[in-house]
Amino acid sequence: MASQGRSRRQRGGVTGYLLKLLRESIPLTQEQLAIELGMDRATVQSWESGRRPFTAVAFGQAIATRQKLAMLGANARLLAALDDAAEADVILAATLDAKVERTDVTEQPLGWSVLTHRLTDLILWAVLGQPPTFLRSLAVYGPRRGPVASGPLLLADERAAFFTQLHVLADRAAGRRNPEVLLHRQACFLAGMDPTGAPAQWLAQNSVRSTQRAAVFHTWSPLWPDARSVATSLANQGDPEPLRDFIARAHPDDACERAALNYSAYWVGEIPYRQRDDSFMPAALSDWRGSRLLRHLVERLDGGHPFVDLNIHNTWALLTARRGLALDDPTIGNALADRSAILLDGDSVSEQSRKELTSIV
């Protein structure tokens, strides 16, 4: 695994752009930050541009740089995302590797741990150009000279290649004698973000395979989150029926309901440590409260959201498991009531969702 990592071309676009935002949040110029770090301006400039990937910096130097940025007053939210930015660059480099059809799929970092919302946002920042959710409330720091990039967006041919390579990875992961389920489902999930609509047919074929394997679900299994990811990807491509069918059929017992909640809590950061695989999902609900998760779900109770039915079901399940949660924050509670009423007045959700909304209200 180590030799494969050394031979792969490194990337630093996401980390570099985040470092630029960190510097501007202090605020310092490249020259001033270089002096503070005891290096030349060209090094700082090459980090920020991605020409010299920060992911290639020695671990000790990376830690010292982060500590120095904190001491200088860099934005804490940006600093907290630095590790995820580095991982996003590693995943992008591996996915865009020209030898992806021949490399060992077990060496693909997309299958090494369960993605979080922030990490996924950072990957898609480079692929789609959409700012991560945690950045949208932050001001742009300081004046900038001349035209500058608004994010770490890949070149057009690289963006197209990224989605093509995800298909390759998913098919190879599923075709093994012992399938790499985590790699398959996460490749399918990211492929569903393709704004061209090109993966719809390919995802539908994956959905058929997932449905066939999931037909025997009586409780949670590693195939459960795989089928869920394919269904959500199809919803993102404009077909909500597989996801509605999954919600109706794939929650036959408490283990599956716990899996839905634990996974959602992990996704938004209620569970603060990274998970190696999906086995944590059906465990008993831990000491996370759910306030952050409820806020995340309520903000997405919108008839135009591709996962609106899933968001409704998870809200209903969360409030069933955490009674009184909606009373913790009156603002969120009022927003929940208002958005539920709007959805009930429309026709954009399934009949099951309408029943769950009625129960919530």
| 56: helix, strand or coil | helix
Asked whether the predicted pLDDT for residue 6 surpasses 50, the reply is no
Per the listing, tokens 């599923």 go with 174
The candidate with the shortest Cα–Cα distance to 15, out of 125, 103, 114, 94, is 125
Max CA distance (Å), the chain = 63
What's the mean pLDDT when you consider all of the chain? 92
The one-letter amino acid code at 27 reads P
Give yes or no for a contact between 282 and 259, defined as CB atoms under 8 angstroms apart: yes
Per-residue b/e over 73-97, b at no fewer than 16 CB within 10 Å? ebbeebbebbebbbbbbbbbbbbbb
**DSSP, residue by residue, 151-216:** S-PPPHHHHHHHHHHHHHHHHHHHTSSS--HHHHHHHHHHHTT-TT-TTHHHHHHHHHHHHHHHTT
If pLDDT is split at 50, 70 and 90, which confidence band does 1 have?
very low
* CATH code for residues 2-153: 1.10.260.40
Q: Return the higher-pLDDT residue of 3 and 361.
A: 361
- Domain map of the chain by residue range? 2-153, 155-235, 253-361
Model pLDDT for residues 146-202, shown as the tens digit of each residue: 556 789 999 999 999 999 999 999 999 998 889 999 999 999 999 999 999 988 899
What confidence tier does 139 reach under pLDDT thresholds 50, 70, 90?
low
Residue 259 has a pLDDT of 97
Q: Tokens 């009586």 identify what position? A: 218
- Is the bond leading into 179 cis (omega within 30 degrees of zero)? no
Q: Which of 275, 260, 252, 199 is nearest to 230 (CA)?
A: 199
Q: Are 222 and 181 in contact (CB under 8 A)?
A: yes
Q: What pLDDT does residue 206 have?
A: 80
Are 83 and 59 a contacting pair, CB within 8 Å?
Answer: no
Question: What are the structure tokens assigned to 186, written together?
Answer: 């996460």
Q: Please give the share of the chain, as a percent, with pLDDT higher than 70.
A: 93
- Rg of the Cα atoms in the chain: 21
In tens, the pLDDT along 295-350 reads 999 999 999 999 999 999 999 999 999 999 999 999 999 999 999 999 999 999 99
Instruction: Pick the closest to residue 317 from 267, 253, 271 (CA basis).
Output: 253
pLDDT tens across 211-266, in order? 555 555 789 999 999 999 999 999 999 999 999 999 999 999 999 999 999 999 99
Cα 47 to Cα 58: distance, rounded to the nearest angstrom: 13
Contact at 8 Å (CB) between 206 and 170?
Answer: yes
State residue 9's pLDDT score.
74
